[in-house]
Amino acid sequence: MSRQERFKGPKMDRRSLMMLMAASGAAGPALAQAEPAIDVVNPKYRKFYDDVAGYYIKDPQWVKETAARLTWPQAGERVPEIRVIIPNTEPAWLDAFRKWSKDGEQLGLRYKLEQMSQARWLEEINVHRHGDIEVHPAVLRPERVDPAEWIVSRGYGSDRRNYGEWVVEQYDDLIDRQSAASDPAERLKLVREAARVMAEDLYPCVFGWGPSIIEAYNGGDWDNFVKSRGFGIGNFNAFLGFSRVKPKGNRKSLRVGMTNLLETTNLLGATNNMRAIGRMIYDRLAYYDENLNVIPWAVESWRRLDERTWDLTLRKGMEFHDGRPVTVRDLKFTLDFMVKYERGIFWTANRFLESAEIVDEANGVLRTRFKQPYGQFESYFMQLNVVLPQHIWGNIMEEQNTAGDPRRLRIDTPIGSGPYRFGRHRKDTELQLIANKKHFDPPQVDDIWVVVTPSLDGLMGRLESREIDVIESSNISLTPSQAAQLAKSSHVRIERTPDVNWLHGVVRASVLPWRDYEFRLAWQHSIDREFLVKVPWEGAGRVPKSNTFLAEGNPWHNPDLPAVPGFDLGKAREILRAAGYAWASDGRLVYPAPVNAGWRQRVVRVSKPGLTWGGLKMLGG
């Protein structure tokens, strides 16, 4: 009986039941001693695995699945099915994995591909019950240009978004050091070294860089869309495109199509769309230009005093949309409010903020001091934070009695100081953004009407008929064939923008079979990246040069990383054979023999020689 069968379904043998109870803390002292509990190599990570209800050791389902893959295989045991979950909104992923699973059969691997709703997909990933490979695309936002969003969340040993539970002590040390490196050149060096460690250990498998950003717009009526690297022309996250666009005729109203609208009008409770649109209403402190260079925005300048302290000078002459002046007191109030209450999207940028003090009110100077040296000041703290009007938000928590959670606030009409003000809004149908002509960077249009059409086909039809002028592209990029169809309309123009995005898979390195570096290497040789780029992506993308989240074109990219293992099933089979694997009579891949000392050593070590594993231990020594 295989290890998976012993842990499958409601019935378990006594050995499996004791292991599960010991690991989940449900057993008494006698049972806990009968079988080893799930534990970590480095005790400093223990609290992380055992600290939050519903996660890891406090999630019985996670314990059950994990214990099964931390038990040493018996002689002749097959490598289990590789489970991959795919949202039903991503047919390209499914097409690619069908090809890769077919190729994997030549190595004796069997895949289990499961399609599900995007909501369920996110839920499974969030609690680490997604199976063997967590597949995820890059969705770029201004704050995500900073490398921390990916190198921390996808690889740091004490971050719950590290879905492969990859825990390498040298990597974590580099992440801690880059976070505290306030000198940009030193931080770049540390970020690139961290990327090297991750790539050399074959933790992520980057399937493709892209897909390319392909957009279409009504070129018969509009011109001068700004093209921002990594974002394109029609992405609300890079709203310079919408602010600088100019009409060719008398039209002053731009119509933008989206598949869905605002999930909330409260920026502090926002995800996705309101994050982007909200920062057109509330001014960010800093912003990116079209080449991803940090530029002043609501804060006209900043000066570093030491590794923990910066002085910010607020831009003069700004007004909120209700006519009240924007003052340095509003900026101080906003940062104090975020530190006191907010635990959502702003918290990641403000949790290290120690104090905000007005040092020159007449000239709008605010001194910010952080709890420790802080390396993400310009590219994260300044990008995420906005200016809230104190005269509206000053007593709002008490007035609305939200039990201390600002994400529950009701903000019917958001009022900020940004280049657009909130206009007419029909939920799930349309939104008017009215140009703020008093803004320091005023839009060229009078207003933007955002209209909802549930499907991409519907959006394309409305663009062809001139009912809309551009398709908002933060979550939609046209395929080459779709672009070719639209280009048949004489008024439609196609725009291509260099991307810095990717599609990756992080394997669950903490458990078998992925704990074996040689297995990871062989598996990567089984991935035909060129197929993804040429077929599902229709050539709109790039075969990645290296396994990195910071793709070529990203300001933090490391050009000196090792190349990705090329698609070579023969080489993959040779690696597996040399590593002690064998094949059953039905062709399925079989684990190395239990007495194979080299294999056992690799499984205990997990990472390549020279790196130190601090994560989950194998059960039973």
Cβ atoms within 10 Å, residue 536: 24
Give CA–CA dist 250/252, Å, rounded: 6
Which among 89, 66, 109 has a CA at the least distance from the CA of 589? 109
Cβ atoms within 10 Å, residue 443: 24
CATH number of this structure's domain 286-393, picked from the four choices 3.40.50.1860, 3.90.76.10, 3.40.710.10, 3.30.43.10: 3.90.76.10
Enumerate residue ranges in the chain where pLDDT < 50: 1-34
Instruction: Give me the pLDDT at residue 143, please.
Output: 86
> Half-sphere exposure of 525 toward its Cβ, with a 13 Å CA cutoff?
17
Tokens of 476: 């939609």
Instruction: Give me the pLDDT at residue 271, please.
Output: 77
| Per-residue pLDDT tens digits for 306-346 | 999 999 999 999 999 999 999 999 999 999 999 999 877 78
Cβ atoms within 10 Å, residue 68: 22
Which CATH fold topology does 217-223+232-278+418-494 show?
Answer: D-Maltodextrin-Binding Protein; domain 2 (3.40.190)
Provide the sign of the torsion angle of the four alpha carbons 552, 557, 563, 566, taken in this order.
Answer: negative
**What's the first-to-final CA gap in the chain, in angstroms?**
21
Instruction: Give me the pLDDT at residue 139, please.
Output: 84
Residue with tokens 């190599």: 41
Instruction: Give me the pLDDT at residue 11, please.
Output: 38
Predicted model pTM: 0.86
Residue with tokens 């570093």: 304
Instruction: Give me the pLDDT at residue 568, please.
Output: 98
Torsion angle, alpha carbons of 480, 485, 490, 494, to 10: -20
CATH architecture of the domain 70-209+502-605 equals Roll (3.10)
Instruction: Give me the pLDDT at residue 35, please.
Output: 52
Angle at 115 between CA 113 and CA 120, to 5 degrees: 125
Instruction: Give me the pLDDT at residue 621, please.
Output: 63
Cβ atoms within 10 Å, residue 28: 9
Q: Cis link prior to 536 (omega < 30° from 0)?
A: no
Give CA–CA dist 348/149, Å, rounded: 10
| Per-residue pLDDT tens digits for 450-470 | 999 999 999 999 999 999 999
195-224 CB burial, b ≥16 within 10 A, e <16: bbbbbbbbbbbbbbbbbbbbbbbbbebbee
Q: Domains of the chain: which residue ranges?
A: 70-209+502-605, 217-223+232-278+418-494, 286-393
Please state whether beta strands 582-583 and 204-209 pair in parallel, antiparallel, or not at all (unpaired). Answer: unpaired
Tokens of 370: 């952080």
